[in-house]
Amino acid sequence: MKPKQSCLHSFRYAFNGIVYAIKNEAHIRYHLIITCLILAISWYFNINETEWMVICMSIFLVLISEFFNTSIEHSVDLTTQNPHPLAMASKDIAAAGVLLAAIHAVIQGGIIFIPKLTIMGGLLK
């Protein structure tokens, strides 16, 4: 039986995972760059509280999906040395989860920002 660890240890392990992923995973860094751009655009358009909530939920959904995808890829790579159809399917399915989260984020962003761009475009004419 494993002794109970403090909550602080759990947070440290989670923080270590975030740091590891940022340092070693290009896709995580790409998502973080896009996150910074979306946050800047959101600030520029002065979106309301509800829109901020949707943007933040979409961002976190994509990041969480990418972290799980990365974890699954590492686990599969660790457990199999030879290509196996189920190993490839597992990795592909995890990647599909990230793709669906990203599509969701684009749709939500479109719902929020396209009207603002349309209004802005009308003002510039």
HEC secondary structure over 33-91: HHHHHHHHHHHHCCCCHHHHHHHHHHHHHHHHHHHHHHHHHHHHHHHCCCCCHHHHHHH
Catalytic residues: 66
